[in-house]
Structure 1
Amino acid sequence: MIPIADNNPSHRKPIVTWVFLIGCVLVFLWQFSLGQPGFQQAVYQFGLIPKALFQVPFGHPDLVVAPLATIVTSMFLHGGWLHLIGNMLFLYVFANNIEDSMGHGRFIVFYLLCGLAAAMTQALMAPDSTIPMVGASGAISGVLGAYLMLHPFAWIKLLMPYVVIFFVWVPAWLMLGAWFGFQLLQSMIAPADQAGVAFGAHAGGFVAGMILVLFFKRPGVKLFR
């Protein structure tokens, strides 16, 4: 299921959301311009590698940036076109309402903290892993968690690309609840030290978003609207 719209208009321009979205696209285009060897090198230089993070947290001469800094840089890298497009669709559909509920400055901090929580969740599940983690999905998972707390009864338009392509509207609580349940189940089944989807990061980011929204939403913004 692929979310493409909701029926939940925002009241202020989602400037930060668009900055994050455009930033991810520009970084990916830079990755793509490097060719295949350079693309992979960028992933290893700026992606988050759990073993490097825990063993050399204050830097290493062979690394372009300090391992601690890769917690942020990894959020703007992606592993391929489908990875990028999928993440940007989720960001586009859900983040504007969360930014609206917090304001621009608070949303920046919220987004980065969710990304941090997601990255640390995955890294702690496999601290000796040398596989780099990249993608905005951990931070975006936090946005989804916040959306569930604020707008569970909004309606989400999903594209369903199965035998035939069709569209369906479902309540946010159903779509996001099913999404989180799948991520949580897969995080318990899939080995955390192997290449693939970072399900643990998704689950960790989602829970972080559910909690952090309580502290970052503007006064007067109600839960479960």
Structure 2
Amino acid sequence: MVPLRDNNPISITPYVTYGLFIANIAVFVYQLSLAKPQLEQFFHVAAMVPCELSGSCPVIGQLPEWITLFTSQFLHGGFLHLAGNMLFLWIFGNNIEDRLGHIKYLIFYLGCGALAALAQWFFSQNSGIPSLGASGAIAGIMGAYILRFPHAKVLTLVPLGFFITTFQLPAYLFLGFWFLQQAFFSFASLGVRTNVGMEGGGIAYWAHAGGFVVGAVLGPMLGLMRRD
């Protein structure tokens, strides 16, 4: 299932969402300018490397490792990785920014991303594979969205064999299914050896599930459920 749009109006211009969108694309364009050895070096410096954060392997680069909990949120492993994250950010981020306001929303986004990265680290503390992407922060947005707009209709692209159709699904069904899927694969990935950028064959499932839960907790603390 792929979301196309939701039907929630917003009352403010989502400047932070636009800024995050542009920042992620700008960093990805910079990544494209790097040769493969330079790109791998860049990932080891700016992405979250679990064993470096744990102190169980040498740290590459000059950045304090805790900073990579934030810098890693703006790195992506490929075009599809970036495109998928930006699609979810574009669809769900503006409504959460509308409810929290610009400053709280930015704090919320970065906080969800950092704590999601820590969830991934907890289950792979000795891994030397860089973990990167905006997925954890955007999962936090989705966790907040399902609380604040559970009955909002999400236009969803659904492949049915050789055919593709669209359905109007309530947010609690679309996002609830997504979360259960991430949670299932999180537990299924325990003990699985990986060889691409993140756990579970290239996907940081623990960051996804952890970010979703963090968003559902942190959002109300920042005023998500306030009445207009």
TM interval, shorter chain, is: over 0.9
> For 1:140-159, what aligned pairs fall within 5 Å after superposition?
140-159=138-157
Q: CA RMSD in A?
A: 1.8
Match in the other structure for 2:6 = 6
- Structure 1 unmatched ranges of 5 or more: none
How far residue 193 of structure 1 moved from its aligned partner, in angstroms, is 5.5
* Equivalent residues of 1:101, 1:221 under 8 A apart: no
Q: Which residue of 2 aligns with 1:163?
A: 162
Letter in 2 for 1:154: A
1:44 aligned to 2:50?
A: no
Contact 1:48–1:67 (8 Å) recurs in 2: yes
The equivalent of 1:27 in structure 2 is 27
Query: What's 2:54 paired with?
Result: 54
Residue 185 in structure 1 maps to residue 191 in structure 2: no
What is the TM-score normalised by the length of structure 2? 0.91
Determine whether 1:78 maps to 2:71.
no
Query: What CA distance in whole angstroms lies between the structure 2 residues aligned with 1:126 and 1:152?
Result: 33
Identity of aligned residues (%): 41
The one-letter code of the counterpart of 2:25 is: V
Question: How far does the alpha carbon of each residue in 1:15-74 deviate from its partner, in whole angstroms, 9 at most, with x for none?
Answer: 0011111100000000011133322222222110011011179x94x3142211111110
User: Is it true that 1:198 corresponds to 2:204 in the alignment?
Assistant: yes
For residue 101 of structure 2, what is the amino acid of its counterpart? Answer: G
Select which of 86, 103, 106 maps to 1:105: 103
Matched residue, 1:92: 90
Q: 1:129 touches 1:193 (CA, 8 Å); kept in 2?
A: no
Structure 2: which amino acid aligns with 1:39?
Answer: L
Q: What letter is aligned with 1:199?
A: Y
1:136 is aligned to 134
* Cα pair distance change 1:35/1:165, threshold 3 Å: farther
Contact 2:27 2:74 in 1 (8 A): yes
Q: Distance in 2 between matches of 1:172 and 1:218?
A: 16
Counting matched residue pairs gives 220
